[in-house]
Amino acid sequence: MGTIAGIPALGFGTYPLAGTQAEAAIQMALEVGFRHIDSAQMYGNEAAIGTALAASGVPRAELFVTTKVQPINLTAAAFGPSVRRSLDDLRLERVDLLLIHWPPSDDKAIEALVERLNGIADQGLATRIGVSNFPVAYLRRAAASSARKLSANQVEFHPLINQSRLKAAADALAIPLTAYCPLARGAALSHPVVVEIAHRLGEAPSTVVLAWIRQQGVIAVPMTTKKANAMANFRSLAVTLDAKDMALISALTTADRRMISPANMARLWD
């Protein structure tokens, strides 16, 4: 599997899977070839993921596991213990990437949170650290205050949203973006431009969209419970779009359709 800044370029998203459904989906994803698994405390599925990974027989060295610290655990008292609970649930000694899931409500706390992330890495509980849903101003502050290089900013990224300003800032900081909702919850797959390109290339629409994301140097973590869809997603690693098709899909970002936008975050989006 190809990598972007040392991280597998395609991962398997797990929201909103839980329980036995999450276990079955992880098993299926591993059978297809996925080795990058994305989770979060907020998803409530770390224990199910841990069970599936332990039962899979896939060597730990082949896996790349991400999880995220949820807002209620960002305090000095809760941060470390919450990460240890996540590791217990995941049945891991460390995660490969630990993210702050959402920016703090008090932006004065950004530097303190980044220091806590670094502290977790210092203890050997996370190999890499990063953030999620951070707008440009917050990302720059987080990067400037971190003793370690931030390895990701996981954000909504797909052909129907314009994230050019955020991507330019992340590129300038050499911090890769990770795309959640990379297929725009399916909306991107039915767009006539995507459908035409997919038909012409003999590929699934999801294959085309995920190739478009990867070719911009963005990691993607799509979720599906269907093996045929997972195989189409995985197929994107072997597909390269030409400049014309890349431009055609990139033009769709003018739709600027954000799928995930909590009310308290709308004021921060770039």
The CATH number of residue 14's host domain is: 3.20.20.100
Block residue for tokens 């949820």: 70
Q: How far apart are CA 231 and CA 228, in angstroms?
A: 5
SS3 201: helix
Model pLDDT, residue 211: 98
Confidence (pLDDT) at 113:
98
- pTM for the structure as a whole: 0.97
Which pLDDT does position 266 carry in this prediction?
80
With cut-offs at 50, 70 and 90, classify the pLDDT of residue 72. Answer: very high
**Which H or E run includes 154?**
strand 153-156
Give catalytic residues, as residue numbers. 43
Mean pLDDT within 19-31: 98
Q: In what order do the strands lie in the sheet containing 12-13?
A: 12-13, 36-38, 64-69, 95-100, 126-132, 153-156, 177-180, 219-220
Sign of CA pseudo-dihedral 180, 185, 191, 197: positive
Element (H, E) at 223: none
Pair type for strands 153-156 and 219-220: unpaired
Over 90: is that where the pLDDT of 268 sits?
A: no
| 231, 32 Cβ separation under 8 angstroms | yes
Tell me what the mean pLDDT of segment 79-87 comes to.
Answer: 98
- For the chain, what is the domain count? 1
Residue 126: what are its φ and ψ, rounded to 5°? -145, 135
Measured over the CA atoms of residue 177, residue 178, residue 181 and residue 186, the dihedral's sign is positive
Q: Which residues pair with 13 in a beta bridge?
A: 38
Q: Phi and psi of 223, rounded to 5°? A: -115, 140
Host domain of residue 113: 3-268
Please choose, from the candidates 177, 181, 97, 98, the residue with its C-alpha nearest in 3D space to the C-alpha of residue 139: 177
Q: Are 76 and 53 in contact (CB under 8 A)?
A: no
| pLDDT value of residue 267 | 82
pLDDT at 97: 98
The answer on pLDDT for 1 being more than 80 is no
